[in-house]
Amino acid sequence: MSVPQPPEPIPGARLLFSLDPAVSHLNHGSFGAVPIGVQRAQQRLRDEMEANPLRFFTQGLVDRITHTRRHLATALGADPDGTALVANATTGVAVVLQSLGLRPDDEVLTTDHGYGAVDLSIRRECHRTGAVTRTVRVPLAATDEELVEVIRAALRPGRTRLLVVDQLTSATARLFPVAAIVGVAREHGVPVLVDAAHAPGMLPTPVDSIGADFWVGNLHKWGYAPRGTAVLVVAPWWRERIEPLVVSWEQDTGFPQRVEWQATQDYTAWLAAPAGLFTLRSLGVDRVRAHNAALVAYGQRVLGDALGVAPADLPDPGGPGIAMRIVPLPPGLATTIDAARALRARVAERIATEVAIMAWDGRGWLRLCGQVYNSADEYERLSVRLPPLLALR
């Protein structure tokens, strides 16, 4: 089987970013990278805020946030009146959890592909309320149909108060058939929260077409927004029950303002977020998605070859446009969170490459991302330098 060819670079795209050229940044999925133009848009807003803080916060800021939210929600295919701006997807999850009113013996159901901080948030809320959390195992190679059936079998109508699933998983870069999962859960009367941290900017699926009770997604990853920009989308029948983590002056206004307004929070990231989407549209949304998916597929293959992983053993995310892929590490490496973090730091320090290292299902995995500022030679260099580093463990 031949190695896929890398895509042609998008002319000038690398120059849009201020990333250190001495480092290969192959982990866009963790914190993103903010284009220079978006950085400048946010800085102009900060300058405005610091020139007259009282005027900035008291004259029209709520309206500006509302206008920004409507722009972002429309771009994502979500109802602006059911969308709230939040700091990140994990914050949105926490808002939902504490608004549910969990009681003793209620159950929150998750999968073993879930994001670690979300799992911690679920655990804390269950501990506080007396509810329980249960995790269902989903094999990495499961088909969409098998995945849906695994979740169907795990639901406990009358006890399962919430199902939390990822749209695109962080640990395994697996695309979940969330619309089908929501349909099955609704048949059983179970609300669904979709953790779509990686969806905005990467996946074309309109939010409203999924039909979830709750959907959270970050724009500061693949949507080129400043960090701290995410949305929580809530179905109409839940909106009156959603409460903020901290009460502030817009509490009596209702959702979404009561969630968005957090007193002296720095709102400039939200207000600059449309500049990120403008950058993405200027490059060409479909062009960027195709480029990133093809580039990371190439990177996965050359690294897999270097580590002796057969092409058939390289996980396929299951759909076009996925800009993240994983490569299994040799047995015994990075099998715990601490070991994974230590290996990631060693790769960054010794070969000047930023990647994600995950411990999942008893094995270590290296996650690669593709972005317009990356080039094929960065993955090729990693494939040359990583095997000797792993041999020195």
At which of 278, 303, 334 does a domain end? 278
**pTM of the entire structure?**
0.96
Asked whether residue 220 falls in the same domain as residue 335, the answer is no
- For residues 341-367, give the mean pLDDT: 97
Question: Which SS3 state, helix, strand or coil, does residue 201 take?
Answer: coil
1 pLDDT more than 80 = no
84 shares a domain with 224: yes
Residue written as token pair 């977020």: 273
- CATH number of the domain where residue 272 is located: 3.40.640.10
- Indicate whether 393 pLDDT > 70: no
Q: Does residue 306 sit in the same domain as residue 377?
A: yes
Read off the pLDDT of residues 64-115 as tens digits, 9 standing for 90 and up. Answer: 999 999 999 999 999 999 999 999 999 999 999 999 999 999 999 999 999 9
Q: Are 199 and 305 part of one and the same domain?
A: no
Residues 226, 332, single domain; the answer is no
Judged against a pLDDT cut of 70, whether residue 231 lies above it is answered with yes
In a domain, 2, yes or no: no
pLDDT band at 241 (very low <50, low <70, confident <90, very high): very high
Residues 177, 46, single domain; the answer is: yes
Name the domain count of the chain: 2
Per the domain annotation, does 339 fall within a domain? yes
Structural domain includes residue 248: yes
Same domain as 329, residue 256: no
pLDDT at 263: 86
Strands across the sheet containing 324-328 = 324-328, 363-369, 356-360
Please tell me the distance from the alpha carbon of residue 205 to that of residue 321, in angstroms, as a whole number.
11
Name the residue with higher pLDDT: 5 or 224: 224
> What are residue 108's DSSP bridge partners?
133, 162
| 367, 173 contact by CB (below 8 A) | yes
User: Has residue 95 been placed in a domain?
Assistant: yes
Task: Give the per-residue pLDDT at 392.
Answer: 58
pLDDT digits (tens, 9 = 90+) for 315-331: 987 677 899 999 999 99
Whether residue 230 is found in the same domain as residue 347:
no
Report the chain's mean pLDDT, rounded to a whole number. Answer: 96
User: Containing domain of residue 296, as a range?
Assistant: 13-31+285-391
| 369 and 294, same domain (yes or no) | yes
- Whether 192 has a pLDDT exceeding 60, the answer reads yes
Q: List pLDDT tens digits, range 33-52.
A: 999 999 999 999 999 999 99
The answer on 183 and 68 residing in a single domain is: yes
* pLDDT-above-70 percentage for the chain: 98
Percent of the chain with pLDDT over 90: 95
